[in-house]
């Protein structure tokens, strides 16, 4: 293949990838641009390519109105707190569970792993009511002493989602590809299983930690609606997704909705851009095996 042919082929590939990237970016551009327009102009421009252009009556009035209609800062704080705590606990618990499934020999581990993975196909809606009955009867130690029932709290939105089948599966698949010789050598030198986990397995697991963190973050941050609607009635503990219903009361303000969606998208973009290099390295190095 000549140099000119390679150049043409590379140009075609870049053009194709650029077009695919634009397809994914268009909704974000539409959302941000629409958040700067009044409702009448937004609806009128949505029928043409002007929907993607910051033209016409552009202002930040929708953002001011959005902050006035809902306690966005509080909701955003709750979502980030719930997601961050769940994420950190999930990485610890699921990686420890995967470590036990891969490196420790005990009776019934394959059966238990199969049962855990089987829960991945069970829709959350089918277990929401039984889970509600369970958390409503569990004790909790708070500043006011011991009380029963977790409704209207942070823990009811965190603890039920710490362990999940997908995160365990990712860690199990990655740990199985690690060189077992390192673990055997460490054990021969007298290292405990805890030391093997902390000093050998986890330092080698950067890519899967980033992958699991991104997927768990998206899962928690984007799906905080059905369960909080069921278990949280106080604004103090509501996450950001529940706040969307504030903009559909009385009159629907589409510009404010776009402004609200733009605000809640910012943490997702920041989190992903922070871990994207490790995420891409994980996919390139190991892939996701079934």
Percent of the chain with pLDDT over 90: 44
* pLDDT the model gives residue 14: 86
Three-state secondary structure of 221-251? HHCCCHHHHHHCCCHHHCCHHHHHHHHHCCC
Which residue, among 152, 278, 276, 269, has the nearest Cα to 221 in the 3D structure? 269
Alpha helices in the chain (DSSP H): 3-34, 39-45, 61-69, 72-103, 109-118, 124-135, 155-158, 165-176, 180-188, 193-196, 206-222, 226-231, 254-285
Mean pLDDT of 14-39: 88
CA distances, 36 to each of 65, 229, 254, 259 (Å): 12, 30, 11, 8
Q: Write the pLDDT tens digit of every residue in 81-135.
A: 999 999 999 999 999 999 999 999 899 999 999 999 998 888 888 999 999 999 9
Question: 148 - beta bridge partners?
Answer: 139
What would the two tokens of residue 61 be? 């009035």
Asked if pLDDT for residue 163 goes beyond 70, the answer is yes
Domain boundaries, the chain: 1-59, 72-285
CB burial of residue 107 (10 Å; 0-12, 13-18, 19+): exposed
Q: Write the pLDDT tens digit of every residue in 141-155.
A: 877 788 888 999 999
The rounded mean pLDDT for the chain is 87
* pLDDT the model gives residue 279: 60
CATH superfamily of the 72-285 domain: MetI-like (1.10.3720.10)
* pLDDT the model gives residue 284: 56
Asked if pLDDT for residue 277 goes beyond 70, the answer is no
* pLDDT the model gives residue 201: 93
The CA distance from 36 to 51, in Å, is 11
Q: Write the pLDDT tens digit of every residue in 234-255.
A: 889 999 988 888 887 767 788 9
Asked if pLDDT for residue 287 goes beyond 70, the answer is no
């Amino acid at each position: 293949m000549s140099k000119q042919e390679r150049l043409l082929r590379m140009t075609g590939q870049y053009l194709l990838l650029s077009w695919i990237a634009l397809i994914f970016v268009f909704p974000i551009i539409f959302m941000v641009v629409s958040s700067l327009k009044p409702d009448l102009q937004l609806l009128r421009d949505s029928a043409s390519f002007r929907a993607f252009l910051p033209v016409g009556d552009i202002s930040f009035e929708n953002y001011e109105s959005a902050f006035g209609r809902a306690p966005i800062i509080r909701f955003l704080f709750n979502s980030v707190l719930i997601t961050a705590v769940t994420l950190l606990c999930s990485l610890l618990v699921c990686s420890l569970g995967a470590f036990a499934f891969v490196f420790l020999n005990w009776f019934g581990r394959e059966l238990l792993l199969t049962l855990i993975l089987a829960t991945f196909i069970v829709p959350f809606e089918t277990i929401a009511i039984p889970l509600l009955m369970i958390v409503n009867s569990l004790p909790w130690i708070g500043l006011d002493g011991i009380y029963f029932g977790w409704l209207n709290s942070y823990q009811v939105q965190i603890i039920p989602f710490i362990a999940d089948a997908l995160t365990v599966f990712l860690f199990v698949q990655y740990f199985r590809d690690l060189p077992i010789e390192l673990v055997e050598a460490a054990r021969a030198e007298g290292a405990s299983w805890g030391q093997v986990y902390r000093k050998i397995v986890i330092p080698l697991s950067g890519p899967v930690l980033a992958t699991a963190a991104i997927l768990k973050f998206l899962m928690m941050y984007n799906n905080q609606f059905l369960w909080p609607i069921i278990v949280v009635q106080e604004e103090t503990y509501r996450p950001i997704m529940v706040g969307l219903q504030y903009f559909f009361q009385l009159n629907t303000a589409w510009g404010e909705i776009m402004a609200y969606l733009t605000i809640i998208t910012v943490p997702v973009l920041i989190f992903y851009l922070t871990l994207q290099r490790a995420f891409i390295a994980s996919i390139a190095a190991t892939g996701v095996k079934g």
